[in-house]
Amino acid sequence: MILKQKFFNRPTLKVAEDLLGKFLVRKIGNRERALMITEVEAYDGPHDKASHAHKGRTKRAEVMFGEAGRWYVYLVYGMHYMLNIVTGPKNYPAAILIRGAIRCSQGRSLTWSRSVLDQVKGPGKLTKFLKIDKKFNGKIAESPSPRACGASVSRRKTGLWLEDRGIKINKENIKRTPRIGVNYAGKIWANKPYRFFLTIFDK
């Protein structure tokens, strides 16, 4: 089931937690790559000093003020693209950074490899692996499949979206810590436990 705006238009911390175990799906031509999300960080509201939205409606952060369910993609350190999904109501700036995921070893039933080789760990490595760049910034997270309607539906060849594939995550397998690399945000905001990850896949 593809996650729609309704899923993202909820309190950001809740969405962040719920994104663990969901699938990030990237389609390029007829290739489709799906990763299960194992690590995220929330950037929540105009007062969050670690958030780009803290400086107001700048050109870069504008997407965060928009409707939920759109991608927010930007470049850091001159070389890494960060992938975020916008959450919460319009005019409330919030987004979730997708930091880590894992590849499914497709067996007869669902089995998950815990091998480091299957870990896609780190937000920069994740976007590189899935070939995600600024082109997705501001785009709605949706499947490229044509909608079931009229003749003039143009088939988009690529896409990036999120899916619920029925994995149930046990709450005891979720851990929270402060976010990575946001020490500039001051004690209060740098220490907020806004990073969520699945303990069963390391760390």
DSSP state of 203: -
179 binds DNA per the rule CB under 7 A: yes
From residue 130 to residue 169, what is the string marking binding to DNA with x (rule CB under 7 A)?
A: ----------------------------------------
43 binds DNA per the rule CB under 7 A: yes
Nearest alpha-carbon partner for 87 in 47, 43, 120:
43
Nearest alpha-carbon partner for 129 in 97, 101, 163, 110:
101
Q: Residue 198: enclosing H or E segment and its boundaries?
A: strand 195-198
CA distance 94 to 116: 31
Q: Which member of 14, 58, 199, 203 binds DNA (CB under 7 A)?
A: 58
Nearest alpha-carbon partner for 52 in 65, 63, 61:
61
> Which 3 state secondary structure label does DSSP give 111?
strand
> Of the two residues 64 and 162, which places its CB atom closer to DNA in the complex?
64
15 binds DNA per the rule CB under 7 A: no
Number of H helices, E strands in the chain: 5, 10
Q: How far is the CB of 40 from DNA (least distance, A)?
A: 9
55 binds DNA per the rule CB under 7 A: yes
Report whether 51 contacts 12 (CB < 8 A): no
> Of the two residues 10 and 143, which places its CB atom closer to DNA in the complex?
10
Q: Which member of 29, 148, 184, 187 binds DNA (CB under 7 A)?
A: 184
50 binds DNA per the rule CB under 7 A: yes
56 binds DNA per the rule CB under 7 A: yes
Task: Name the site residues for DNA (rule: CB under 7 A).
Answer: 41, 43, 50-53, 55-56, 58-61, 64, 72, 74-80, 82, 84, 95, 97, 122-126, 179-182, 184
